[in-house]
Structure 1
Amino acid sequence: MARTHEFRFSGNPDFDFEIRTTIGQAFSGAADIGEVLAAVEGIGEKDHDGWFRAWLALGDRVAAQGEASAQAGHSASGASAYLRAASYYASAVNAVASLPSEDELLPTFRKHRAAWDSWVDLVDLDIARVDIPYEDTTMPGYLFRAPGSATEKRPALVVVNGSDGALTSLWSSAVSGALRRGYHALVFDGPGQQSMLFEHDLPFRPDWEAVLTPVLDFVLGQPGVDPDRVALYGISQGGYWVPRALAFEHRFAAAIADPGVVDVSTSWTDHLPANMRKLLDEGEDAKFDRDMEFGMKFSHDLASTWRFRARPYGTTGYAETLRAVLQYTVEKVAGQITTQLLITDPEHEQFWPGQSERLAAAAPSVSTLTRFTAAEGADFHVQPLARALTEQRMFDWLDERLGR
């Protein structure tokens, strides 16, 4: 039966999606639905400061619960609270995007990472902090080893984040499911992501194979990893990172793009008026920047969001940023992919509509498209309220491809 109306947690679509994303992590222990809904209740759709403060206060409160439980010797309760606190702090980090300045960004991010690390230390799992060699530096990561895997080689899943996701979201989207099915899993911050951006000011790069090739080399060097069964998963903008890397790095046994992204720039350029796109296409960067600057004066929300979203690209001017984003496309290289690829395709995809189908059409011999619908409660970008269903479909597919 089709829905006759759409329920919203907030009249602000960004707030609504954040709530959906956070409570969708409850099935893996990274949220508790009641405390989330109580914390955000009554926040006006334009109250950006109140929105940030609500998530920060919730993170502080739940982290304090974690500390109290841990100090009293209740490690399981402490771990549970710290994981939820890390998730709530991650939402607070995202909420900084709509504040007048980014002064709160680094302190809030460090609270998020401290809560995550406290969970890592307390939870009854085999997790190692790792440093992955990358050019002249290293990328921080966490290697999760499958339970009971000391005497046999297991498949491994490399998990790739999107443009602004936190490690807690990767636990919910892929890692917890991987461990329950006997996979090792690796999460990491790549260039432009989380700690690599906030603490080291290292921006995105379009040629993500330069990131994933050393990551794969690292994983293949770990004891207990079956070298013929290393798979790859990317969420949100990771749906671009994954196919881009696969066009050049062919050693992964199978991969998942959740969802498929052919051209990152459309989430930026589709909102431009025709006259502004004309200026950009004709190379009138000075005029483009002048008109954008004028328009930003009338929209605090847009100006704050632009600043936050542009930062990972390492650019300054408006036209410069869009020219950088336009490089993030797999249109001309998707045909080079030889790895079997599962592509999620949610109904009502709001950021890259139609692109999952485009990616499947660009690499037809290796692609499997799996649709998610509103009737299943599985619509919107990355199926935020249907992560258990997503997990079931993607791991069933992955198990079959890896002969498990």
Structure 2
Amino acid sequence: MESGAQIGEIIDMCKPIRDAANSGADAGTPQFMKAWAEMGDKLLDLAAEDEAKGRAFSASDKLERASLYLFIAERMQGHGAPGRKETFAKAREAFERSAKLGRINRERVEIPLAAGTMPALFTRAPGSETTPAPCVVYCNGLDSNKELLYWSRLPEALARRGISTLCVDQPGSGEALRLQGLPVDPHSESWASKAIDWLEQQSEVDPKAIGMTGISLGGHFAPRAVAYEPRFASGAVWGANHNWREVQDKRMAREGENPVPHYWAHVHWAFGAEGQEDFLEKSKDMNLNGHMDRIAVPFLVTHGANDRQISPAYADDLYDQLVNSPRREKVIFTAREGGVEHVGADNMAYGRDVIADWFAETLGGHTA
């Protein structure tokens, strides 16, 4: 719903698979794929009918939802599941077609890395073609992709405030993982610095006003990058993943909730690990303790009070360690406003507004 789904379509997709879901988190995923992909295919057909009649905007709207449902269907499957690769390709094609037909303010770009590339979506602030605008690098969590970042509507909120956005499929996520096999790099400055290199070459971007944020596991990547890449002028997190390595110990003890089915197989794949021991070794640096005192720019910490995946206590840890930030703020979303669940799964509006306003205030955008 937060990403643009229609409630009636969600009901139609989920009604026939409710019983399968009762058999456990992993048991119903093939049925989930079938139901959600069928809705995606139906919307693709309806979009084609609109396009044949010259109704490009209507076709684009349907392609957006088709792409969303197909991405979600793919995301919920285990690594190597039948149909996963084809579903991802179909979702990407629909997303690209939608942008063209709908004249949507997003451009797919490729950012060179030391190995491979980092696919990204560039959303330009109005007027940036004549006056360079601030820009925010926006990174994925563990199991999202740049398209889902775009659908969080943070790029839209930032553009309204005069700020461009670069949504990235960093190593270990989205296309970088699925099509290039690039695993997670805990030292996020290695790829975040390449994003700045690219942005500095864009005439629409003010190179002195580049910020970074991340959602979910991006709550590790963004602070780490801001700590070690001095060209970032501001930072924020949508969920404080301060010590994700410790969270894995808790998950092995069955504490808290997992973000996706087939969780351990997914993290092994994302980290390029050959098993649990290898994964634990490769994820040992997913811990921000001892690094946050390097941040010397404004930094915002946001977290949901009822986050059942990542404890709000990690938001306290992150905030407390920002001892050299000239402006640090912590916002814990409560039942009063909503957004209490993990990265605002119950209501993303408040997190989106707070983060967009933060960057407007610290990078030189506007809030009115």
The answer to whether structure 1 residue 86 and structure 2 residue 67 are counterparts is yes
Alpha-carbon offset, residue 219 of structure 1: 0.7
2:331 aligns with one of 367, 370, 376: 370
Q: Which runs of 5+ in 2 are unaligned?
A: 255-259
The answer to whether structure 1 residue 347 and structure 2 residue 305 are counterparts is yes
Quote the residue 2:280 is aligned against: 322
* Same amino acid, percent of matched pairs: 26
Partners of 1:271 and 1:135 in 2: CA distance:
33
Q: Secondary structure at the match of 2:244?
A: coil
Residue deviations 1:149-204, cap 9 Å, x none?
32212111211111110223211322121222222211222211111111111111
Alpha-carbon offset, residue 234 of structure 1: 0.5
Quote the residue 1:33 is aligned against: 7
Q: Secondary structure at the match of 2:41?
A: helix
Quote the residue 1:394 is aligned against: 355
Runs of 4+ in structure 1 displaced over 3 angstroms? none
Alpha-carbon offset, residue 313 of structure 1: 0.4
Quote the residue 1:169 is aligned against: 148
Q: Which amino acid aligns with 2:289?
A: E
The answer to whether structure 1 residue 361 and structure 2 residue 316 are counterparts is no
Partners of 1:273 and 1:130 in 2: CA distance:
41
The answer to whether structure 1 residue 96 and structure 2 residue 77 are counterparts is yes
Q: Which amino acid aligns with 1:215?
A: A
Partners of 1:401 and 1:268 in 2: CA distance:
34
Quote the residue 1:199 is aligned against: 179
Give yes or no for contact 1:240–1:264 (8 Å, CA) kept in 2. yes
The answer to whether structure 1 residue 333 and structure 2 residue 298 are counterparts is no
**Counterparts in 2 of 1:88 and 1:303: CA distance versus 1, 3 Å:** closer
Alpha-carbon offset, residue 365 of structure 1: 4.2
Give the TM-score of the pair, scaled to structure 2.
0.89
Partners of 1:64 and 1:372 in 2: CA distance:
40
**Counterparts in 2 of 1:303 and 1:153: CA distance versus 1, 3 Å:** closer
Structural mapping, 1:166-245, within 5 Å: 166-173=145-152, 174-245=154-225
Alpha-carbon offset, residue 68 of structure 1: 2.2
Q: Which amino acid aligns with 2:343?
A: V
Further displaced range: 235-244 or 192-201: 192-201
Partners of 2:253 and 2:284 in 1: CA distance:
17
Q: Secondary structure at the match of 1:376?
A: coil
Q: Which amino acid aligns with 2:29?
A: H
Count of residue correspondences:
349
1:147 aligns with one of 105, 126, 133: 126
Partners of 1:31 and 1:167 in 2: CA distance:
17
Q: RMSD of aligned C-alpha atoms?
A: 2.0
Residue deviations 1:27-80, cap 9 Å, x none?
xxx322221123212422233322222221122222222222223211111111
Quote the residue 1:284 is aligned against: none
Give yes or no for contact 1:263–1:326 (8 Å, CA) kept in 2. no
Q: Which amino acid aligns with 2:149?
A: L
Q: Secondary structure at the match of 1:268?
A: helix
Alpha-carbon offset, residue 217 of structure 1: 1.1
Quote the residue 2:257 is aligned against: none
| Structure (1 or 2) with the larger CA radius of gyration | 1
Q: Which runs of 5+ in 1 are unaligned?
A: 1-22, 275-301
Give yes or no for contact 1:86–1:168 (8 Å, CA) kept in 2. no
Give yes or no for contact 2:36–2:73 (8 Å, CA) kept in 1. yes
Residue deviations 1:308-327, cap 9 Å, x none?
22201011121111222222
Partners of 2:265 and 2:59 in 1: CA distance:
36
Alpha-carbon offset, residue 239 of structure 1: 0.6
Alpha-carbon offset, residue 238 of structure 1: 0.6
Q: Secondary structure at the match of 2:134?
A: strand
Structural mapping, 1:284-323, within 5 Å: 304-323=262-281
Quote the residue 2:342 is aligned against: 381
Q: Which amino acid aligns with 1:385?
A: D
Partners of 2:290 and 2:363 in 1: CA distance:
28
Quote the residue 2:50 is aligned against: 69
Q: Secondary structure at the match of 2:213?
A: strand
Partners of 1:273 and 1:182 in 2: CA distance:
45
Alpha-carbon offset, residue 273 of structure 1: 4.3
Partners of 1:238 and 1:94 in 2: CA distance:
17
Partners of 1:136 and 1:389 in 2: CA distance:
37
The answer to whether structure 1 residue 127 and structure 2 residue 106 are counterparts is yes
The answer to whether structure 1 residue 258 and structure 2 residue 232 are counterparts is no
Q: Secondary structure at the match of 2:150?
A: helix
Partners of 2:351 and 2:135 in 1: CA distance:
19
Alpha-carbon offset, residue 126 of structure 1: 4.0
Q: Secondary structure at the match of 1:157?
A: strand
Alpha-carbon offset, residue 205 of structure 1: 0.9
Give yes or no for contact 1:207–1:245 (8 Å, CA) kept in 2. yes
Alpha-carbon offset, residue 118 of structure 1: 1.2
Give the TM-score of the pair, scaled to structure 1.
0.81
